[in-house]
Structures are given as structure tokens and as C-alpha cells.
Structure 1
């Protein structure tokens, strides 16, 4: 009989999922998605080789659950950071700073090299999480445009361009922040 950790079955499952997510993240840092096996995840998470299948049907399910978990953590931190910002330009600054500072922690480069190995269903599930983050930016830009703080003709295009500006990690954050704020018509 497997040993239950935690005071309740719910705590046990949460602890086990956290161990699996940590193991998965570690393995993604070491090798490509296609080189990761469920046995490797289980071993790294200190689970029996077959026990992991009681919680995840395959590594794609691990990936989707991991993406969901990380997005929720990220959104919680982003919303907390935005809580003190009242004006749209201030909110955009906070959003940009948070994306730049926390981006390395949360985004492991789960791009085309991973998505090509996932089913359409898994790609759509992960996309839902990306949309949740985009919705925060959409709200900031919409409020700023309504208040006359931002000059934005194409909201979706502006969002794409802002996120593209957040990609070059070699630029100083202040340079990116100033550029984006000027691009939307706010004082940099």
C-alpha cells in the first residue's frame, strides 16, 4: 500500500503533483521534451514508475497540468503586483516589469520545439493559459485607451508587438519599458 504524505488525501495529491511539476521542470531544463519519459519524471519525483500513471495519463498530460499550474502562479503574482497601480500607464509599467522579471522564472521556452510534439487538444489547452495572461494586458490597454492615456488603433496588433518587445532579454528593462510606453502614446 502506498504511503500517504500530508494530513489529507487532498494534501497528498497536491504534494505529489508539486513533486511531478518540479521534476518535469528540471528535466525540461536538461533535455528536450521528446527525450523525457514518464519513467524519468517518476524517478525524479521519487514516485514508483507506474504510480505516476494514477495521476497523469502521459507526459503530455503532465505538460498541460504543469502549464496550468505555472500560469495560475504567474497570474496570482501579476495581479498582486498590479494591485497598487491605479492609472493605466502605471499598470502597463508594472505589467512590463513583471513580465521581464518573472518571465525567466515561468517561461521555459515552451515554443515550437515542444508544441510540435503535442496533440492539437494539448496545444489548445496550453493556449488557454496564454490567453489568460494576454487578457490582463488587454484590460490595461483598453482602460488606457478609454481614458485617453494610450493611443492605440489596433489592440490585437499592439498586444502582439508589446509581447514581442518583451522577448529580447539582452536589452535593459528600462529601455523596453520606455519604448513600449512611447509606442502606445504614453510618456516614457
Structure 2
């Protein structure tokens, strides 16, 4: 039985559950969803399979929890980043900047692996719901800016974010990718008349 490194049983159980989730995420990202089993997760976390069943009664339960956790942690970081932004354009920029930072840390890898995992339909639906909830602050900011066809514009700009994330995850410098991406986002979301005015003012 693992040694209790906590002041209370409840704290110990929380630590064990966290260790199991981290082990499950590690297996998911590196070996795929089919490898996420109670036995494999227990072995990776250093716990007996019987101990794993105290927290998760199946592979499906493990994957469902990973689905929730993958977005919960990113959402908390995004919420903190957006809290310091003023105005819709700054909200978009903060969302992109923090998303890229999280991408550089590998925070998006569990969600990406889940999307390609062929999950149960209910889990796939929950994954889509969580994704829509996560991007809603960005989409709301685009709507607030009053750009033409805001839904399409948000989709197109989100494509830039996905490309930038791929670049960062493949080793491109985070600062350089962030700077270039935000410059392009500002050009896309700044009204043409203000851009023209700024150009005239510079002459």
C-alpha cells in the first residue's frame, strides 16, 4: 500500500486520484486511448489495480475524467489571462497569447489525443461541448468588435491559432510565433478605415 504523504485521508485520496489522472494522461498522449486501462494506469502511478477501482471503475471512466480535466485546467489559466484584458481586442489577444503558452507547455495534447481517439459518442459529444465552452470568450469578443460575419471571422482566425499552436508544438520559438500571430490577428480585426487612417497619419 502506498505511503500516505498527507495530513488527512481525504487529502491522501485527492493526491492518489491526481496521480492516477496524470498517469492516464501520460499514457493517452504517448500510447493512445486504447492503452488507458485501470491496470496500465495503476502500474504507471505505482498503485495496485484494485486501488485504481476505488476511483475509476473502467477505462471509460478514466477517459471521461481526462476529458473534463483536460479542459478544466486550461480554462482556469485562460480565465486568469482574460481577467486582466480590457476591451474585446485585448480579450482576443489574451486568449491567443495564453493558448499559445499552454500549447508550448503541452497542455493541449490530452484534448488533441482525445479528439483522435474514437471515443464513445457520449464522450465525443461532451468533448465538443467543452471545446465550444472554452472558445466562447474568444468568439464573444469577436462578435463584440462588430466585424462582418463574426462567426465566420472567428472560425478563420481560429485557424490561425491552430496553425500557430502546431508551429509551437513542433519547436518554433513561442515568442516569435506569438508576436507574429497577434500582429496578424490585429490586422484581421481592426476596421479597414482605422487602418487607413493610421497609414495616412504616418505619412
- Deviation, 1:21, is 1.4
Indicate how the Cα distance of structure 1 residues 10 and 162 shifts in structure 2: closer, same or farther if over 3 A, else same: farther
Q: What is residue 30 of structure 1 aligned with on the other side? A: 30
Q: Following the alignment from structure 1 to structure 2, what is the Cα–Cα distance between the partners of residues 27 and 165?
A: 29
Count of residue correspondences: 179
Q: TM-score, normalised by structure 2?
A: 0.76
Cα distance per residue 1:50-99 (max 9 Å; x no partner): 22122112222212212212312211111111122112111111111111
Counterpart CA distance in 2 for 1:134 and 1:11 is 33
Bigger radius of gyration:
2
Q: Confirm or deny: 8 A CA contact 2:2 2:47 kept in the other structure.
A: no
State the shift of 1:9 in Å: 4.3
Partner of 1:13: 13
Task: Calculate the aligned-residue CA RMSD, in Å.
Answer: 2.3
Q: Which residue in the other structure is 1:148 paired with? A: none
Contact in 1 for aligned 2:157/2:185 (Cα 8 Å): yes
Residue 127 (structure 1) aligned with residue 128 (structure 2): yes
| Consecutive unaligned residues in structure 1, runs of 5 or more | 146-150
Moved over 6 A (4+): none
Cα distance, 1:32 vs structure 2 = 2.0
Match of 2:189 among 178, 184, 187: 184
> What pairs up with 1:60-75 in 2 under 5 angstroms?
60-75=60-75
Deviations 1:135-173 (A, max 9, x none): 12122223322xxxxx13142x22322222112232722
Gap regions ≥5 residues in structure 2: 196-203
Provide the rounded CA distance (Å) in 2 between the counterparts of 1:57 and 1:152.
Answer: 49
Flag the structure with higher helix content: 2
**Per-residue deviation, 1:133:** 0.7
